[in-house]
Chains A and B, each alone.
Chain A
Amino acid sequence: MILLERLAPELLTAAPLLVMRHVSKRYGPVVALEDVSATVWPGEVLGIVGESGSGKSTLLRMMNLEDTPDAGDYTLALPEVPGNLFALDRFARRQLCARRIGIVYQNPHQGLLMGHSSSGNVAERLLMAGERRFATLRARARDALDVSEFPLNRMDDPPRLLSGGMQQRVQLAKAIALEPALLLLDEPTTGLDVSVQALVLDTLKRLQRDRAITMVIVSHDLGVIRTMADRVMVMRRGRVVEEGLVDQVFQDPQHPYTQELVHAKL
């Protein structure tokens, strides 16, 4: 079936925050990403959906500069890093990620020091950026946890003593403590009870509304994507098979795989 080709943006004058072009990555014989391009505009939420092994998490990790692709480039519209971010060395990447990119992982062990205090986990982010006043560290950690709707009477408990939902809130507080330009969410609610999942999504939604943080959220759960995202990319076997406004992709999916996915889940 022939579809009308979509035009380049005419009305939106803002420059995109994130541009990733023609990114490909293989791990041995496994194709993780094949010619993937993505664009994210300031203040919007891009959802990436697909089954396990579709490459969606790999793509997110590329956005967090945790890995370098075989081909392709990646830019963020930030004054301090004008060029291709994949060309940065490890040190520069670390600086950039610490200051400008926040990430929430599915597994809190990946993002948190489980034995240290929750507020300390948040404070570490600020310490990495050079904050050296104890009172400021304390106040900003408290604020970030509060915004993430973490119960402040438990702010000095270590994450290993907390429930899964609260661990995700600590991760979120850590991710937003420095007010990042980009917030990456890798299956942030997978593995949580349904009721807890709804509360965490609600927090994310509020945060997005109040602060207009640009987000990229990866999930295999269409419900999560529909709740959170403005636009969605559907990935399969390392490729983007469909991309569009969330309501359009879910109500009028074009690709056979997307149709299968939508009909299976709805």
Chain B
Amino acid sequence: MSPPYSTLANLTRPWAAFSYGFLDPSAKREMRRKMIKAIAVPGCQMPYASREVPIARGWGTGGLQVTLTLIKPASVVKVIDQGADDSVNAASIRRFLARVSGAAETWDTLAATIVQSRHRIPEERLRDDQVLVLQVPNPEPLRPVQPNMSIARQMHADADYGRLWLVLYEQMVRSGRIMQGAAYPALVNGRHVMTPSPIPRWDVPKLNMARHLTLLSAGREKRLYAVPPFTKVEPLVFSDVPYKVEDHASLTCYRSGLRGVFMNEIPQAAGGSLHEASDSHLGIKAIRRAEGEAVEIGPLWYRDGEFRG
């Protein structure tokens, strides 16, 4: 027999090891729909199916699924873990992304079109043609005050966030200051409170009225949410107790000489500690520039430890 008869061979595409960008088309379609929904209702958590990807749950599967859906051959991806491009986890994810998509890899924030990150936002200001993907371990800001997730969702529906303020109130009572360090809850677009993932307080203002799109995704908890460009993100604060970022203004990176950026503290055996820039590639660029290379460093969010947007 010969065509026009239909056969399995001429009805299907040639076999390949996996789909483009690893996820199958229906998984991507779901992700796209949920991302559009999340952008339409800023800060509101959208449930999604969360497929299997070849890394373990809790290692960035949520962020990875978002990036795999966004990625295309022309993309340039940067992946950081606590600010570093060269950590094992960041390097593996970045290589995996490049292998399944043909996208280019970079360490340079300025060159990236997609930045997937765990726990930090780069110090160079993101542009409107860049997308930030944050890996989220626990997407529910109400979990510490309301273990029942059904009730927590009702509280979101009612914008009933009194208990989050209550936690801050009690920190003030007990310690005289707000103790919440990472994952500081923030009100998005005046409506939904989100956890910005465990980024330091230093990074939260970078989301407010930002030029870039931020997608936050929790693979284990199967929830994603978004901060669209030019959207208000206000950390929960008392009107008479101003929001304070970490006091790193006076610290100097012992390797690059950078000042006024978020620092990692490195305790020394002899006591005391040194500091190095948490955004490792910014440090590298600063060193290269000091050595005379023509390296472009983009405008920073912070100047002298003060946020300037």
Contact = CB atoms under 8 A, between A and B. Distances in A.
Direct contact of A and B (CB under 8 A): yes
Interface in B195-239: 238-239
A138 B170 CA distance: 10
A120 B151 CA distance: 20
Q: Which of A94, A127, A156 gathers most chain B CB within 10 Å?
A: A127
Contacts of B149: none
Interface in B147-173: 157-158, 160, 162-163, 165-166, 169-170, 172-173
B129 interface: no
Interface string A95-125: 0000000000000000001001101100110
A123 B166 CA distance: 7
B238 A134 contact: yes
A53 to B, nearest CB: 28
A90 B151 CA distance: 13
B170 A124 contact: no
B162 A116 contact: no
Contact of B158 (A94, A120, A132, A136): A94
B304 to A, nearest CB: 28
Contact of A124 (B157, B158, B163, B238): B163
Contacts of A133: 238-240
B269 interface: no
B3 to A, nearest CB: 63
A137 B169 contact: yes
B66 to A, nearest CB: 32
Interface residues of A, number: 20
Given A94-B158, A134-B240, A119 B166 contact: no
Contacts of B158: 90-91, 94
A128 B162 contact: yes
Interface SS majority for chain B: helix
Interface SS majority for chain A: helix
Bin chain B's interface residue count: 10 to 19
A135 B172 CA distance: 10
Nearest to A95: B158
Contacts of A120: 166, 169-170, 173
A94 B160 contact: yes
Nearest to A126: B162
Given A94-B160, A156-B173, A116 B166 contact: yes
Contact of A127 (B157, B162, B172, B240): B162
B241 interface: yes
Contacts of B165: 123-124, 127, 132
Interface string B165-186: 1100110111000000000000
Contacts of B174: 156
Contacts of B170: 116-117, 120, 156
Contact of A132 (B163, B173, B238): B238
B162 A124 contact: yes
Contacts of A128: 160, 162
A124 B166 contact: yes
Contacts of B163: 113, 124
A134 B160 contact: no
16 contacts: A94-B158, A113-B163, A113-B166, A117-B170, A117-B173, A127-B166, A128-B162, A132-B238, A133-B238, A133-B239, A134-B172, A134-B238, A134-B241, A137-B169, A137-B238, A156-B174
Interface of B: 157-158, 160, 162-163, 165-166, 169-170, 172-174, 238-241
Interface of A: 90-91, 94, 113, 116-117, 119-120, 123-124, 127-128, 132-138, 156
